[in-house]
Chain A
Amino acid sequence: MPEPLLSVRGLATHFVTRRGTLRAVDGVDLDLAPGEVLGLVGESGCGKTVLALSLMRLVEPPGRIVAGRIAFDGSDVMAMDDKALSRLRGRGMGMIFQQPRTSLDPLIRIGNQISEPLMQHAGMSRAAAAREAIALLEAVGIPAAQARAKSYPHELSGGQAQRVMIAIALSLKPRLLIADEPTTSLDVTVQAQILALLRERCQALGTALILVTHDIGVVAQLADGVAVMYAGRVVEQGSVAAIFARPAHPYTQGLLQSAPVLGARRDRLNAIEGNIPDLSQPIAGCAFAPRCEARAAIGQRCDTDPPVPLPAGQDHMARCWRLAAA
């Protein structure tokens, strides 16, 4: 296996509030190879967004990274000072969000929003940065880029705003792009365009991609590897082929079966009964046990011991005691 670009061990990000400590991310291990597309899947409240922000050390109080190591491109992210972090967020990692318009400055022309970091981080002159901004807008499929560079964010459609965000996030050719639900607020036809663009740009630049999403269809179409999160943990990780063909964790199995699939109609959907646990309360064993159909067969251990990562195949692990019994 090649040297990973990103290696995360035991990462925990907690939010301390008056109502208690919310364990949003609670012991995550994750590996990402250079150029790999990783789908980070889970439902709301599973901690996937907090994990994404933690990787760039962008968590704001009352949130705090309380434990763990993040190694990125040979550097220790947890040990970085402000200057090193600024460089990391420019040339190391880029990020795009679900609501592209809210991450763009409404008062600044989009061309200037792209050229600013080029001057700051890449030492380009104003004129060179302006030319590069237009080239970047063309690369993300904005028609009439030269004229469009003078537009303000409110003049863009949602799809165009996300294209601009991609142009900004990739302008310094980072080694990793983190995309947090980048198409969730877009129409399905525009989603298809943005996903194709992400794939094409990341491939062209050799940039690895962490695609945070709740949509398993998006993951199946785009990802090389998949990490499934539940209640603050990565409960299963493996290649996209393995995860879809042989999901090992009962939660992954439930997730894959609960969504209706176009062209594969069934009379009933296999819903996962119950709700996600309250992460402000301590969880003794497996966080999924109260909703798990396999729990009865596995036994008491699920209620008392948090499952450790167990091999489920080649480069495929799941945190489920069922794998220990087998």
Chain B
Amino acid sequence: MSLVEAAGIAVRYPVRTGVLQRPTHWIRAVDGADIQLRAGETVGLVGESGSGKSTLGRALIALRRPDEGSIRFNGQDILALEAPALKVLRRKMQIVFQDPNASLDPRRTVGGSVRMGLDLHGIGTRAERAVAVRKLFQRVGLRPEHMARFPHEFSGGQRQRIGIARALILEPQLLVCDEAVSALDVSVQAQILNLLKDLQAERGLAMLFISHNLAVIEHMADRIAVMYAGRIVEEAPRDELFAAPRHPYTRTLLQAVPTPDPTRRDPRPPPLGEPPDPANLPTGCRFRSRCPIAMPRCAETEPVLAEVGSGHRAACWAA
């Protein structure tokens, strides 16, 4: 059974115009996405800006309540829960942000920020909490004396270690990593990716790893979902996705990543177009305005995500 089962997730944002700033229309940042995660599994969610990947990640842990759809966590319908019950469940679902400052209070010691989850949920005695925080600091590669310092005293990589400790102190079953290494230099990025992988294996975490970087996604994920303009357009086990991508957008993304090997220069012309304005999507298939193999049918009917192989789904009339 899946740990997380989300179906038909839609998240809308109002577009406000005019002097009264009334919402005149809505952008569907996520427009009908299904996603499942098993315990201990890492699912990679990849897409470009405006694809809705971060919004979907936040909806999945009810950080942004979806406008449509259902989310089951351990079989429980989390959108039906009242606030107190949701608070209890939140312990099991945590998030690491791109900018660790988003989850660290600048006026609080970092030890205090990491401990806060335990305080809020009333877990353990004072002494037990202190021990738990100290142990976790060491596990994420920080020293106990770091606990008394403030966020500004740390480098970006160290701050991300603190952000990871903050997310893990409540021993969640699901960890959403939203562009968690995107702001880091590659040498430090590698340290954090190695750490996340180790922690994931040790703790049997289910991880939703959101990134725009396909190479990072390939490194981390067991299964990969590709998002475009609010929809998941392809989903497959990692090796299968890279060996046999079925959606033309996935192929476009793969082609666009520059290979770090000067003996293998890509002579092909670059992909066409830019990600669409979510307020102004094409009719039919959202990718058709950039698609090298678009057919008349693509303008008429939007393809649905359909099985194209074992555990492999794609939303393309040509797949």
Contacts and interface: CB of A to CB of B under 8 A. Distances in A.
Contact of A255 (B49, B187, B255): B187
B189 interface: yes
B258 A271 contact: no
Contacts of B273: 189
A66 interface: no
A221 B262 CA distance: 6
Given A188-B253, A191-B256, A217-B258, A273 B214 contact: no
Contact of A261 (B48, B215, B255): B215
B271 A189 contact: yes
Contact of A272 (B48, B190, B219, B258): B190
B265 interface: yes
A261 B261 CA distance: 10
Contacts of B253: 188-189
A188 B212 contact: yes
In this complex, the member of A157, A269, A272 whose beta carbon has the largest number of chain B beta carbons within 10 angstroms is A269
Contact of B258 (A44, A215, A269, A273): A215
Contacts of B185: 43-44, 214
In this complex, the member of B190, B254, B258 whose beta carbon has the largest number of chain A beta carbons within 10 angstroms is B258
B274 A259 contact: no
A145 interface: no
B187 A217 contact: no
A220 B261 contact: yes
A271 B187 CA distance: 5
B305 interface: no
Contacts, number: 128
A216 interface: yes
A271 B212 contact: no
A147 B110 CA distance: 54
B274 A189 contact: yes
A272 B187 contact: yes
A187 B242 CA distance: 19
Contacts of B216: 260
B215 A192 contact: no
Given A188-B257, A221-B258, A244-B262, A271 B191 contact: yes
Contacts of A229: none
Interface string A240-268: 11001000000000111011111101101
A240 B262 CA distance: 7
Contact of B214 (A195, A223, A255, A262): A262
A236 to B, nearest CB: 15
A191 B257 CA distance: 9
A248 B258 CA distance: 23
Nearest to B249: A189
B212 A187 contact: yes
B260 A190 contact: no
B275 interface: yes
A218 B157 CA distance: 23
A190 B274 contact: yes
A281 interface: no
B266 interface: yes
Contacts of B187: 43, 254-255, 258, 271-272
B271 to A, nearest CB: 5
A86 interface: no
Contacts of B190: 258-260, 269-272
B157 A275 contact: yes
Contacts of A272: 187, 190-191
Given A244-B261, A259-B260, A189 B189 contact: no
A205 to B, nearest CB: 20
Contacts of B263: 241, 244
A135 to B, nearest CB: 22
A273 B189 CA distance: 11
Given A187-B48, A220-B262, A265-B219, A258 B186 contact: yes
Contacts of B254: 262
Interface of A: 43-44, 157, 159-160, 187-193, 195-196, 214-221, 223, 240-241, 244, 254-256, 258-263, 265-266, 268-273, 275
Interface of B: 48-49, 155, 157-158, 185-191, 193-194, 197, 212, 214-216, 218-219, 242, 252-263, 265-266, 269-271, 273-275, 290
List the 4 shortest-distance A-B pairs measured between CB atoms, nearest first.
Answer: A217-B258, A271-B190, A272-B187, A43-B185
10 contacts: A159-B274, A188-B212, A189-B273, A192-B256, A223-B262, A244-B263, A262-B254, A262-B257, A269-B219, A271-B194
